[in-house]
Amino acid sequence: MRPGRHRGFGATGVTVDDTDGEGNGGDVSENPNGGGGSGAAGARDCGGTDGPSGWGFETRSIHVGQEPDEATGALTVPIHLATTFVQPAPGEHLGFEYSRTGNPTRAALERCVAGLEGAAHGLAFASGMAAEDAVLRLLRPGDHVVLGADGYGGTYRLIATVYGERGIDWTAVDMTDEQAVAASVGPATRQVWLETPTNPLLTVVDIAAVADVAHAAGAAVVADNTFATPYLQNPLALGADVVLHSATKYLGGHSDVVGGFVALNDGDLAERLAFVQNAAGAVPAPFDCYLLLRGLKTLGVRMDRHCDNAEAVAAFLDGHPAVAEVLYPGLASHPGHDVAVRQMRRGGGMVSAVLDGGEAAAVAAVRATRVFRLAESLGAVESLIEQPATMTHLSVAESPLAVDPGLVRLSVGIETVGDLLADLDQALA
């Protein structure tokens, strides 16, 4: 089945024009194909010129920003390792000057991901945290940030510790409680950070509702779309101002590249972020950009299989006697299921579960799986399992983001589903 046809999930989310009848994401913006500006400016201007508007998701992921090389006809984007580019005259260049400022392989990636998010502008970074850091560098001492009280521990650590110690105020709130969000924003609030579904509790946050509250207070909404990917959810179309990705996860998809991404429509904000990207210099290497471009080409088909397998895993765990609670947005019993149906195309590839036996049971289970490898990270073809309390979320122990030690998080890969279920069955036995 195609996305948008699953277990009550809405046709395609909110703004998608599914004119191709395939239900595969369709056209999410006026400029769905990205493209436009070349070279150094490509990071700042992805306004579409390449490809007919209305291209479907998979066509965009394979072609946007990736025209055959003009000089050689090479079909795939070359890895441009040159650090510098020869100029015809001082003050003139052919689109690129210096590889930190702009690189042709990176420009292709920036155009492609921007096109997938329906964004006018895209900027690639050396990691998801570098992307987050660039957005936070727009703040000044005395500014206030609101973030979710459930989410990736590294985001909390960066805001609360690194920026908190430098004069940025912050409040962590339950993002599913609109009144709590409204009560937490004030005149100094500049950014409201949300993640949906969240890491590791898979909480679904209503992006449009949070955007209404934040915008009424004059704050920008920064949405981490790492778990959903642009295949399943497009936060900009739902009212977010900035979309963030740990490209290390589903965008790359093969556990072999660390990267980050920011996509947005506001040209002034994009200029300021491009300035930070160049001034602070946390840019990805050309080879990493190539790996991400390669991963993106199969994002749609991978996500379909991730969702198929995750649905089967969630259903299996849901009926298992060793499991106290299954957290998966695709389950009708999930508290955020209705919102997920409105804003996502399917439930995604991540499943969390609280085990009946608490921490001891969680530790025993993650040590006993064979196909699910015990490791941090997520979003790749390989299935992974972890215990967030002592692994990915150790940095938030004792904080508002601390997680239950009986929780296990599964990144459901694209292996044969029967092998995944059999593996969990023996590990929980």
Q: Minimal CA–CA distance to 150: which of 401, 393, 329?
A: 401
For residue 27, state whether it binds ligand PLP (rule: CB under 6 A): no
152 is catalytic: yes
Quick one: which of 129, 213, 351, 407 contacts ligand PLP (CB under 6 A)? 129
Quick one: which of 246, 309, 383, 411 contacts ligand PLP (CB under 6 A)? 246
Give the C-alpha distances (Å, rounded to integers) separating 406 from 315, 355, 358, 362, 372: 19, 6, 4, 5, 18
For residue 248, state whether it binds ligand PLP (rule: CB under 6 A): yes
Q: Could you tell me how many residues of this chain bind ligand PLP (CB under 6 A)?
A: 14
Nearer to ligand PLP, 4 or 284 (CB): 284
Distance CA 381, CA 303 (A): 10
Q: Minimal CA–CA distance to 313: which of 398, 384, 393?
A: 384
**Choosing from 45, 50, 143, 224, which is the catalytic residue?**
224
Minimal distance, residue 154 CB to ligand PLP, in Å: 5
CA-based R_g, the chain, Å? 21
Minimal distance, residue 312 CB to ligand PLP, in Å: 23
Give the C-alpha distances (Å, rounded to integers) separating 410 from 352, 366, 369: 6, 9, 11
For residue 260, state whether it binds ligand PLP (rule: CB under 6 A): yes
Minimal distance, residue 155 CB to ligand PLP, in Å: 6
Provide the strand spans (E) within 196-278: 220-224, 242-246, 260-264
Binding mask 307-346 for ligand PLP (x = CB under 6 A): ----------------------------------------
For residue 66, state whether it binds ligand PLP (rule: CB under 6 A): no
Minimal distance, residue 14 CB to ligand PLP, in Å: 21
Those residues whose C-beta lies under 8 Å from the C-beta of residue 78, and which sit 6 or more positions away, are 69, 72, 104, 105
Contact yes or no for 228/198 (Cβ under 8 A): no
Binding mask 157-196 for ligand PLP (x = CB under 6 A): --------------------------------------x-
Positive/negative CA dihedral, 261, 263, 267, 272: negative
Nearer to ligand PLP, 124 or 185 (CB): 124
163 is catalytic: no
- Strands across the sheet with 384-386, in order? 323-327, 350-355, 407-411, 384-386, 373-374
Nearer to ligand PLP, 194 or 341 (CB): 194
Those residues whose C-beta lies under 8 Å from the C-beta of residue 177, and which sit 6 or more positions away, are none
For residue 250, state whether it binds ligand PLP (rule: CB under 6 A): no
Binding site for ligand PLP (CB under 6 A): 127-129, 152, 154-155, 195, 199, 224, 226, 246, 248, 258, 260
Catalytic annotation, residues = 100, 152, 224, 249
